Structure 1
Amino acid sequence: MGRNRKVGLDWWPRDIGLYRDPKLRAARQKFGVLGPYVYECLLDIAYGDKGYYIAYSGEGREDTLWQLREYTAGLENVTIETLAAVVDQLVASGLFHAALYERGFLTSKRIQMGYFLATVTRNAVPINFDIWLLTEQEMREKNPSGKSFVLRAFISHTENAIYRTENAICCTENPQSREEQRTEEQRTVEDSRAEQTREEKAVTADSGLTTELEEKLNCKFDHNFCLELRRLQNKGMHREVFLDTARQTAENAPRNPAGYFRTLLQNCERDGILTAENMQKRAKPAPAQPAIGPSSEQLSAFDREWYERVKRYTREKAVPS
């Protein structure tokens, strides 16, 4: 029988006092109920996908924020920037591991312990121990029998790490080994820089359009808004729609032009206005309703006499006898 390679969870253990966690106090004071709600949504995303962490860099960060956007659909004024600020506050409050957050991961001991307990009976679980926070003692306290695959894999990983360290010490006098190590380190740095460059180019895929929009609105777009513009471009929204929407924003002179511009773009996306031809669908003022009844110019002399008799008869019937 093949090993069970399932990664995510079908359910996750939720603490009864989750919303009373003192670490949520700052997020609640700053963002209201949105703070703890976003935290619970992030737990749901982590447990359902990778199991014990969220990839929160590059496209992973963009995907996570858009998932949160879907979770919070229906709430007013919840922008991508607001959701990103909530995540940053949750990290600052200690609900996610700060050092791993800087490396592009959202995780914590609470998340990993929940995942550990939920996978005790699995016969195989893929784990990246470079971001694993639980110690052998903490896992043994929850699984004294030591049958957990994660625990056994952790012990094996630790022993192999010790063995590699001992080998490295033995090879420190070998100049060829040191040269190979430096080459590997240099290659890692170059790969990291290349990946960062690719991400930056992806975000600023049409920097000319972004610059033109910023000039029209006299404001500067942040990183998250640039991601949203790129998403709309990839979806097929034409340059003319962006520029016409910017023109409308400038004419209305809102206090927050970037936020107002974003709202208009969201309305365009919702209404299917992606091309220049679609722009004709924008809402137009309804034509004035014609007055009820004929005008005096439209009535002949006979009709006017008849019309006056009807009005006079109506008034007389309305007077009580």
Structure 2
Amino acid sequence: MESDPKTLCFGEDVAFGGVFMCSRGLLDRFGRARVFNTPLSEQGIVGFAIGAAAEGYSPIAEIQFADYIFPAFDQITNEAAKYRYRSGGVYDVGGLTIRAPYGAVGHGGHYHSQSPEAFFTHIPGVKVVMPSGPREAKGLLLAAIREPDPVIFFEAKMLYRTAVEEVPEGDFMLPLGKARIAQAGTDITLVGWGQQVRVLELAAKEVAERDGISCEVIDLRTLVPWDIDTVAASVNKTGRLLVSHEAPLSSGFGAEVVSRITDRCFYALEAPPVRVCGYDIPFPLVYEPLYLPTARRVADAVRHTLQHS
């Protein structure tokens, strides 16, 4: 916002910092013309952001919870995603960034815990980014804001209060579409994004200590585009693949990863690829610990996969 006076930040309760305090202090620094609250209308928030982006602004629009992004689904799919294409490149909304907190938080229930990323990976024209920690969030968010295509930036609510790490000061970007090898390994490839990367790392530690299994953990960072080359190289080395996400199993993005990697690495696979995900039910409240793809569930799936000769 300091380097580009046309950058705007707005959404429900954003002016006082938002429910997660992510925009705290911005109003005092940049004023009400650039940092402001909106009505409780997700369709209106995204519609306004699309119009601002079409006029050369860089709007950072916040959907307070990703669960409530669905009223804006038409604006995203039929307007933002197609704007450049339908005008033959004359107009675009490339400065548009939509932030949305997603996923389990411990007590959110079925209206504040969903992971809707797979819906948006099916839409040509938008990019989908999901950071796995504070450092990743800063580098990827700055890259998303400067990206010449509209970006949906999903932030794991659980990480707001649980992830602590050093974050570079100043201007710092990470490339979109390039995965991160969070941990090197030789026996099986574990793929995740967002909060689930932390879960995979815990599972990898458990099976290493108890079973001597070496896991390679890959943080996709972005789902559109996703880094198939890095994942394929890992699977060609380990011969096994496990993909994990909080979203329901059926039609989750993990299915896309498994399908594409099976095409690319079929003859290198020593066992069927595995998905450890949420269940095909509404996100529960009191049964949240049973729903989530925990480190224990992942570790058990890793052990089972390694039983294949």
Normalising by structure 2, what TM-score?
Answer: 0.22
Quick check: which one's helix share is greater? 1
Who wins on radius of gyration, i.e. which is larger?
Answer: 1
Normalising by structure 1, what TM-score?
Answer: 0.22
Quick check: which one's strand share is greater? 2
